[in-house]
Structures are given as structure tokens and as C-alpha cells.
């Protein structure tokens, strides 16, 4: 009986470690491309304004790990925020702030949310309205997703990508 209990405990521990190792092998870096409307590009240049992106990694908690969840019930896995020049181009998200120690608290897929906005160098308010990413991480790794930004005053419809 004791041997069976020890075997089950060892098996559960091995499965748990295997799950964390599988998550640890998940690539977290990815690329996206920012395109600006002509009006947005002109406004950013004339105001000497930059573009900022914030990439937030998150997942659902596994049973028993809910106490580590944030105010909306998710496990925060890291946020990468970078200021860029105010021009269109390719952006590489390194995943440098991704915290693999928190993987032991999650169950299911890892998600990423990316928001793009003006850097607020020329004023206190964001002037951009951009497409955004909110999907499973696997949907953005290995490909380039394009996000289009407009001036808020253009009233353009933004979209969730990819």
C-alpha cells in the first residue's frame, strides 16, 4: 500500500514537472509590424511623438493557484513595454520580462495581449487608435502580425489581430 502511494506521488510530481517543462519550452518572443495611416504618421513626425507598445503575457490559474491570480482572475506572466520612434516598422518582442517561475501556477494555454499607443512625449493624452493582439501566444510566434494605427480623431475601426 505504501509503495502504491509513493508511486502515485512520484507520478503526480513527474507529470507536474513535465507540464512546467513543456510550458518552459514555449517560445515567448514574436514580431509584429506597425503601419500608420498617413495622418497618424504626419502627426507623430510633426509632434516628435513616439510609439509605445505593451505586451502582457497571462494564463488561467490551475486549481489551487487562484490566490496568485490578479484582479480579473488571471496569472500575470510578465509585461514588456518599449518606447519606439514615431514611425512605421517591425517590432520584436523579446519576452524579456516573461517570468517562467509563475508557470507552476497555470493551466491551459499562455495568452498575450499587445497594445500600441503614442508615447505621450508631446502631451498627456494618447493620440493613436491601433489594432491590438489578444490571443494564444502560439498564434503570434513564428509569424509577423500587422497592426494598423490611426489618429483617434480619424474614427477608424480597430481590429483584434491576428
Three-state SS at 155: coil
Prediction pTM value: 0.82
In this prediction, residues 136-146 reach a mean pLDDT of: 95
DSSP secondary structure, 90-141, as one string: EEEE--TT--GGGGGGEEEEEEEEEEEEE--SSSSS--EEE-EEEEEGGGTT
Biggest alpha carbon–alpha carbon distance for the chain: 76
- Grid cell of 119 as nine digits: 508615447
Is there a contact between 98 and 57 (Cβ–Cβ < 8 Å)? yes
Q: What is the distance between the alpha carbons of residues 103 and 134, in angstroms, rounded to a whole number?
A: 19
The domain ranges of the chain are 28-161
pLDDT digits (tens, 9 = 90+) for 3-59: 443 334 333 333 344 344 445 556 899 999 999 999 999 999 999 999 999 999 999
Q: How many whole angstroms from its chain centre is CA 34?
A: 15
Per-residue confidence (pLDDT) for residue 26, from 0 to 100: 61
* Fold adopted by 28-161: Immunoglobulin-like (2.60.40)
Q: C-alpha cell of 105? A: 501556477
Overall residue count recorded for the chain in this entry: 162
> Which pLDDT score is estimated for 23?
52
Mean pLDDT of the chain: 87
Return the pLDDT at 25: 53
pLDDT of residue 84: 93
What is the C-alpha to C-alpha distance for residues 73 and 98, in angstroms, rounded to an integer?
Answer: 18
pLDDT per residue over 79-137, tens digit each?
999 999 999 999 999 998 899 999 999 999 999 999 999 999 999 999 999 999 999 99
105 vs 13, 16, 19, 86, 136, CA distance in Å?
14, 10, 11, 38, 17
Amino acid at each position: 500500500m505504501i509503495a502504491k502511494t509513493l508511486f502515485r506521488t512520484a507520478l503526480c510530481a513527474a507529470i507536474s514537472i513535465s507540464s512546467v517543462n513543456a510550458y518552459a519550452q514555449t517560445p515567448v518572443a514574436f514580431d509584429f509590424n506597425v503601419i500608420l495611416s498617413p495622418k497618424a504618421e504626419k502627426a507623430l513626425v510633426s509632434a516628435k511623438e513616439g510609439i509605445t507598445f505593451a505586451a502582457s503575457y497571462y494564463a488561467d490559474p490551475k486549481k489551487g493557484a487562484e490566490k496568485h491570480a490578479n484582479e480579473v482572475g488571471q496569472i500575470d506572466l510578465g509585461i514588456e513595454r518599449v518606447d519606439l520612434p514615431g514611425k512605421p516598422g517591425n517590432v520584436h518582442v523579446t519576452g524579456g520580462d516573461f517570468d517562467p517561475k509563475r508557470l507552476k501556477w497555470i493551466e491551459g494555454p499562455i495568452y498575450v495581449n499587445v497594445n500600441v499607443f503614442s508615447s505621450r512625449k508631446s502631451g498627456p493624452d494618447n493620440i493613436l487608435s491601433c489594432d491590438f493582439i489578444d490571443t494564444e501566444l502560439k498564434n503570434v510566434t513564428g509569424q509577423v502580425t500587422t497592426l494598423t494605427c490611426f489618429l483617434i480623431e480619424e474614427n477608424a475601426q480597430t481590429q483584434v489581430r491576428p
